[in-house]
Amino acid sequence: MIYPGTQANDFSASPVPYTKVCVIGAGAWGTALASVARRAGRETALWGRDQATVEAINTRRENPKYLPGIGLPHGICATTDMAEALDGADAVLLVTPSRTLRDICVQMQPHLGKNVPIALCAKGIEAGSGYLLSEVAAQILDGHQIGALSGPTFATETAMGHLTAATVAFQFSYSDRLDTASSPATRLALSLGSEFFRPYITDDLVGVEVSGAIKNVIAIACGMITGAGYAENTRAALIVRGMDEMKTLADVLGGRRETVTGLAGAGDLILTCSSQTSRNMSLGVQLGKGIARENCFEGRPVVVEGEVNSISVMDLARRMNIKLPICESVFRILHQGADVRETFADVWSQPIEGERRGLAISIDHPVAIAAEAIQ
């Protein structure tokens, strides 16, 4: 007799890749992920709402609106017809911005095959409800396993075939633990993996989602201080203190700290807090330089998840009674008109605490003492 939990998993069964991967959302990241699936040898459908973009992908193998000048692999079947895209698909990647998730799930629901797993690739928390995106999807797509794909992945680089690694997260059911070969995380990793794309697997969906939602807010913060003229030391400090905020939220929602220090957390923070290829960091830089929001990106509407998610992250933090000082600073600057330098100076002059949370230390910041001494 085998007692579950006392026996190593049975790896003798080989996982089987999915046959047809359907990508929902033909923006930059959806198109890049369709390229990943196709390069890995999958039958690949790509649903987009814009007829001209779909036609360009099918006829010229290019997405001129979101990935101009980047050649796409042969064989991606793009369509504006949701039923056609999902027909026969045995795995789905959902890649529209976080604010659209609820609507898109409702649109997909009648066309989904039974038990088809869905990996969410947007980064965010639902405004108003404070739900993780997987919770939103699970409410609508009953009977489907919901996971996430996240990590340090600029769409342009992935689409061009530069080596990219990401985390694929699905909560493991009891049977998944006994038979890892048939878990959606394993099968999706196998379905997308190639010499260009390396998926890692985890069962910590909460940790991955929390990391993805917060990292965009921290990237805006790093951009703001860069634009305002702070130096590299400050940015490095902000990245790591930002990671601490990820850990704080992951802790209260049941995610794991090791996930926060993995690809979907630290990996994505390092990428997007260091490069103005990031739309979040780039928005922050422009705001830090004093450019008005409406003039950033030369007036083009661009998806900047951290902007809306600074509201939902702070809303959730208040409900959970936790402090996220960097996220709060971004929220106050973006949505309450606070000044960049004054706001970050305030973060800097908070009482000094133990670097490890829970260490019972709190002393007045020496800057305040020095200011008094020279008066």
Ligand X SMILES: NC(=O)C1=CN([C@@H]2O[C@H](COP(=O)(O)OP(=O)(O)OC[C@H]3O[C@@H](n4cnc5c(N)ncnc54)[C@H](O)[C@@H]3O)[C@@H](O)[C@H]2O)C=CC1
Ligand Y SMILES: O=C(CO)COP(=O)(O)O
The reply on whether position 76 binds ligand Y by CB under 6 A is no
Is 303 within any annotated ligand binding site? yes
CB of 257 to ligand Y, least distance (A): 20
Residue 81, phi then psi, degrees to nearest 5: -95, 110
Contact of residue 30 among ligand Y, ligand X, none (CB under 5-8 Å per partner type) = ligand X
Partner from ligand X, ligand Y, none contacting 97, C-beta within 5 to 8 A by type: ligand X
CA distance 185 to 56: 32
Q: How far is CA 265 from CA 115, 126, 235, 308, 368, in A?
A: 29, 19, 16, 19, 34
Give me the 329-348 binding string for ligand Y, x by CB under 6 A, dash otherwise. --------------------
Which one-letter amino acid corresponds to residue 215?
K
Q: Which of 65, 114, 215, 289 is catalytic?
A: 215
Which of the choices ligand X, ligand Y, none does residue 272 contact, using the CB cut-off of 5 to 8 A by kind?
ligand Y
268 is in an annotated binding site: yes
What number of other Cβ atoms are within 10 A of residue 302's Cβ?
A: 13
Could you give the CA distance from residue 127 to residue 364 in angstroms, rounded to a whole number?
36
Residue 215 catalytic? yes
Q: Does 256 bind ligand Y (CB under 6 A)?
A: no
Minimum separation from the CB atom of position 17 to ligand X (A)? 22
Contacting residue, 37, 219, 228, 317, with ligand Y by CB under 6 A: 219
Q: Is 53 in the site for ligand Y (CB under 6 A)?
A: no
The answer to whether 114 is annotated as binding is no
Taking CB under 6 A as the rule, does residue 152 contact ligand Y?
Answer: yes
**278 belongs to an annotated ligand binding site:** yes
In the complex, least distance from residue 275 CB atom to ligand Y, rounded to whole angstroms:
9
What is the binding site for ligand X (CB under 6 A)?
A: 25-30, 48-50, 66, 95-98, 100, 103-104, 121-124, 153-155, 303, 305
* Smaller CB separation from ligand Y, 21 or 122: 122
- Binding of ligand Y by 204 (CB under 6 A): no
Report the residue from 91, 188, 271, 273 that binds ligand Y according to the rule CB under 6 A.
271
Instruction: Candidates 186, 280, 286, 312: give the one binding ligand Y (CB under 6 A).
Output: 280
Give the C-alpha separation, 131 to 28, whole Å: 25
**Does the protein bind ligand Y through residue 31 (CB under 6 A)?**
no
d(CA 86, CA 16): 20
Q: How many CA atoms lie within 13 A of 294 on its CB side?
A: 0
Q: Does 79 bind ligand Y (CB under 6 A)?
A: no
The smaller minimum CB distance to ligand X, of residues 10 and 103, is found at 103
Provide the residue count of the chain: 375
CB nearer to ligand X: pick between 305 and 307: 305
Of 137, 288, 276, 153, give the one whose Cα is nearest residue 224.
Answer: 288
CB of 304 to ligand Y, least distance (A): 7
Footprint of ligand Y on this chain (CB under 6 A)? 123, 152-154, 216, 219, 268, 271-272, 278-280, 305
Positions marked active-site: 215
Residue stretches of the annotated binding site: 29, 49, 66, 123, 151, 153, 155, 215, 268, 278-280, 303, 305
Residue stretches of the annotated binding site for sn-glycerol 3-phosphate: 123, 151, 153, 215, 268, 278-280
Residue stretches of the annotated binding site for NADPH: 29, 49, 66, 123, 155, 279, 303, 305
